[in-house]
Structure 1
Amino acid sequence: MNLYLTLLVVFFIQFVISLEASFISPIIPYLADYFNIRESSVIYLNLGFSTIGLFSPLFGMAADKYGKKNIITFAILTFLSGTIITGWAPSPVIFGLGRMLIGVGNITLTTTLLSYISDFISYENRGKGNGILRIAFAIAILLSPIYSTNMVKYFNIHYLYWSVSILSVIILFLSIKLPKDHNVHISHSSELNLKEVISITKEPITIKFLIIQFLLILAPILMFNYLSIWLKHNFNLTQSHIGYVFTLTALGTVIGVTIAAILSDKIGKIKYCILSFILMTLFLAPLPYIKSIRLVIPLTFFYALGLDGGWSAFQTICSEIYPNRRTVFMTLLYFVISVCSLLLTIIGPSLFELGGYKLVIGIGTISNILSVILLIDVSKDKSFNIK
């Protein structure tokens, strides 16, 4: 399989897992009614998904030891199993267990796909390669809100998830055709162990990027987890209209990742990150104080544009910090995402009930500001030569 077909298959895999990952937030009101639970408690259905991310470094170690292609196929099988169980789930507990399996597949694929294609693409062009993954992600989250809200409106949760099962079977067969990754950077070290992972975390640059990762992901988790509830109660929007707001927001993601794929390699990835994250902070801060839905949509649009455009460049930078242990470092970053997601899954409902959308967005805004400050500090470090 040539490079273009390989990228096309990876694109489709990223699209499918991103499509499912964007289902929950727009249909929180539906899930609350379906399982007869409080709206603010629906986020607990993600507890298994978030928890499994704590084991992401192990998935990265396995990918470096057994080959990324093999791990990709395993992850798709697990993802497929999870979608079948989630679609069938008669109770919140079974639904959560199904999403835990989906989480194994999603997290493994998310942390492995960029590392996999990096074996075939030079760093100078990796912004474009990562852009392909981010465009797949962007298209998925553009379609996901309308698709999920209308599927549960006209059918039910079973058909929503089983349709993803069909797509999962397709990407499973496509993954078998993928070329084997080079693995040249690990041929001398097949006995990758936990001590080596720990040694990476002791490096100052690792600590900085793990902190930046935590601060960056905190805001979008809080913002999107409670956006549908806020829209429903503040603007009296129906489930379908909430889906349209999410879709219009996702247009910002599509444009953001497209611009990043074109410009980040030209103006410098870290500079692009900083500018994008400043943009998203400026549009996030006033969101909970807006009284008109016509103003909410531009704010969420530009927030998504800054977030996902900057995120594309940020991931590309991260993929080159430890080129000989790329997958492990990327899974460490995803481990931090999972820790943040798990923490907010546990305390998020209490924060929302305590201070509403203003409190959670206020926390997110502060975390964004701190992440930008740290990124600027990294960019001024003469020992950091990745631009």
Structure 2
Amino acid sequence: MSTQGTAAAPESRLLMIFALCAFLVGLDALVVGPLVPAIAVDLGMELELGGLLVTAYGLLYGLSAPLFGPVSDRWGRKNMMLLGMFVFAVGTALTAAATDLTTSLIYRGISGLGGAMLMPSVFALIGDTFSFEKRGKAMGLVMGAMIGSQIVGVPAGTFLAGLGSWRLSFLLIAGLGFLAMLVILAGIPKAPPTRAIPVGPVKAYQLQFKTAFSTPSVFYALLGTFLWTAGLQGMFAYVGVFYTVNFNLAIEKIGLVAMCAAAASMLGSTIGGRMSDKFGKKRVIGFAAVLSAVGVLTFALMTGNFWGAFVAQIVWAAFVGVGQATLTALSSELSPQVRGTVLALNSSALYIGLMTATAVSAAMLNNSMSFLAIGIMCALCSLAVMPLALFKIKVAEPEQAQQPVAAAK
């Protein structure tokens, strides 16, 4: 389905804007992990509680994202993107002014709320603008931008923290967010609201969950996204703590490690797309799930070997990239009757997985459990995605996927 306004704009330009939005939202969520040691010292909080900053972001994002898909149907995608980017930038700027754990959690929640307003409209516009044959590639590029935010952004954030303060990182992201508002304003044509579902946003919100839990493939796809993200973020949110506690690594060096891992993840995402075309998405996801589990478990075991931990993280990150892009593309190919709903709920499932895993990891560390215990949890989450992809998720036939999307975006 295409809207008249977006159809008039070049697809390449729109894709760049979508990728920019995903880059900033991904950066804001991912930069926290390596910065936790510096934030904890400055705010006077226990190191083990640092992951709650990710949890607060993910909680607001995950719970509210499905609501804003229907709102954008009625209010317009561009309007929702502008409001979302504004709230996102304000919340991120406020994070830089946090004085204690409580205020920082509130401000991270505001940032997550802004991301929840923004990204469902981005994913909906991909569905509005790109044909079925191009939609998977477009979705992969946007998700790649979110993952790729680590390559430039996370090292830059940790470098700024090393030079001055972790607060500079969030101020920089907030500034880029305000500039992105201008890009959205100038680059995305205004299109009329779609009003795809003739009910109010709250009712549409309820209908989305009813659809998810009554359509097996949708439910299993969302569960797969939840588990995949949990398998990543349960450990990733604490990589800064891992390297600080075990190797006393300076924050700038943690940033460099994160950059290398992100590069491996981006490479894995690119290779994964090609592998899925050749061998099939389900097989590639199963293959990536096993090797991601091996990678994160090996990483958790390397508490006394820095180079072993580094290599294990690179391998782990590469196969996370392979699986993430392929799983997202697979989810986008579900029945056309639920595709719009899945795109809204998939984003929600991702951040609920992020929130849940970081909260559980925080509780485990706070109760003196080891990184190995977290690694085992993450490995089990990754492995659980394999049977879901191979046996439970059914996709539409290509000719069916050409039909108009009836669900709300």
TM-score > 0.5, shorter chain as reference? yes
1:91 counterpart = 2:105: no
Counterparts of 1:15 and 1:342 in 2: how far apart (Å)? 19
Could you give the per-residue CA deviations for residues 200-221 of structure 1, whole angstroms, max 9, x where no partner exists? 0212222222322222122111
Matches within 5 A, 1:194-213: 194-200=205-211, 201-213=213-225
Matches within 5 A, 1:145-164: 145-164=154-173
Superposed displacement of residue 2, structure 1: 1.3
Q: 2:134 aligns with which of 125, 130, 139?
A: 125
Counterparts of 1:69 and 1:326 in 2: how far apart (Å)? 20
Superposed displacement of residue 294, structure 1: 1.6
- Mind listing any 5+ residue stretches in structure 1 that lack a counterpart? none
Superposed displacement of residue 331, structure 1: 2.8
Which residue of structure 2 lines up, in the alignment, with residue 115 of structure 1? Answer: 124
1:217 counterpart = 2:229: yes
Change (3 A) 1:368 1:182: farther
Could you give the per-residue CA deviations for residues 115-166 of structure 1, whole angstroms, max 9, x where no partner exists? 3112221222223212321332233111223211111111223322222222
Of residues 87-96 and 1-10 in structure 1, the stretch that sits farther from structure 2 once superposed is 87-96
1:300 counterpart = 2:313: yes
Which residue of structure 1 lines up, in the alignment, with residue 364 of structure 2? Answer: 351
For the Cα contact (< 8 Å) 1:111–1:327, is it kept in 2?
no
Of residues 44-53 and 144-153 in structure 1, the stretch that sits farther from structure 2 once superposed is 44-53
Which residue of structure 2 lines up, in the alignment, with residue 46 of structure 1? Answer: 54
Which residue of structure 2 lines up, in the alignment, with residue 244 of structure 1? Answer: 256
Q: 2:391 aligns with which of 368, 371, 377?
A: 377
Change (3 A) 1:252 1:111: farther
Counterparts of 1:268 and 1:230 in 2: how far apart (Å)? 36
Superposed displacement of residue 183, structure 1: 6.8
Of residues 318-327 and 154-163 in structure 1, the stretch that sits farther from structure 2 once superposed is 318-327
Matches within 5 A, 1:1-387: 1-52=9-60, 53-176=62-185, 177-180=187-190, 187=196, 189=198, 191=200, 193=203, 194-200=205-211, 201-290=213-302, 291-352=304-365, 353-378=367-392, 385=397
Of residues 260-269 and 353-362 in structure 1, the stretch that sits farther from structure 2 once superposed is 260-269
Could you give the per-residue CA deviations for residues 286-317 of structure 1, whole angstroms, max 9, x where no partner exists? 22222422222222112112112221121122
Letter in 2 for 1:371: V
For the Cα contact (< 8 Å) 1:83–1:99, is it kept in 2?
yes
Counterparts of 2:286 and 2:96 in 1: how far apart (Å)? 40
Corresponding residue SS for 1:88: coil
Superposed displacement of residue 59, structure 1: 1.6
The percent of aligned pairs where both chains have the same amino acid is 19
Change (3 A) 1:346 1:134: closer
For the Cα contact (< 8 Å) 2:92–2:173, is it kept in 1?
yes
Change (3 A) 1:196 1:350: closer
Of residues 293-302 and 247-256 in structure 1, the stretch that sits farther from structure 2 once superposed is 293-302
Letter in 2 for 1:132: L
Counterparts of 1:12 and 1:33 in 2: how far apart (Å)? 32
Superposed displacement of residue 324, structure 1: 4.6
Change (3 A) 1:166 1:188: closer
Counterparts of 1:133 and 1:180 in 2: how far apart (Å)? 21
For the Cα contact (< 8 Å) 2:301–2:372, is it kept in 1?
yes
For the Cα contact (< 8 Å) 1:48–1:99, is it kept in 2?
yes
For the Cα contact (< 8 Å) 2:72–2:193, is it kept in 1?
no
Superposed displacement of residue 223, structure 1: 1.1
Of residues 49-58 and 60-69 in structure 1, the stretch that sits farther from structure 2 once superposed is 60-69
Letter in 2 for 1:214: F
Query: How many residues are paired up?
Result: 384
Superposed displacement of residue 346, structure 1: 3.7
For the Cα contact (< 8 Å) 1:88–1:158, is it kept in 2?
yes
Counterparts of 1:202 and 1:333 in 2: how far apart (Å)? 16
Q: What is the TM-score with the length of structure 2 in the denominator?
A: 0.86
Change (3 A) 1:325 1:65: farther
Which residue of structure 1 lines up, in the alignment, with residue 3 of structure 2? Answer: none
Corresponding residue SS for 2:99: coil
Change (3 A) 1:8 1:341: closer
Change (3 A) 1:181 1:116: farther
Counterparts of 1:278 and 1:321 in 2: how far apart (Å)? 24
Counterparts of 1:189 and 1:133 in 2: how far apart (Å)? 29
Superposed displacement of residue 249, structure 1: 0.8
Counterparts of 1:70 and 1:257 in 2: how far apart (Å)? 31
For the Cα contact (< 8 Å) 1:218–1:367, is it kept in 2?
yes
- C-alpha RMSD over aligned residues: 2.5
Counterparts of 2:265 and 2:294 in 1: how far apart (Å)? 16
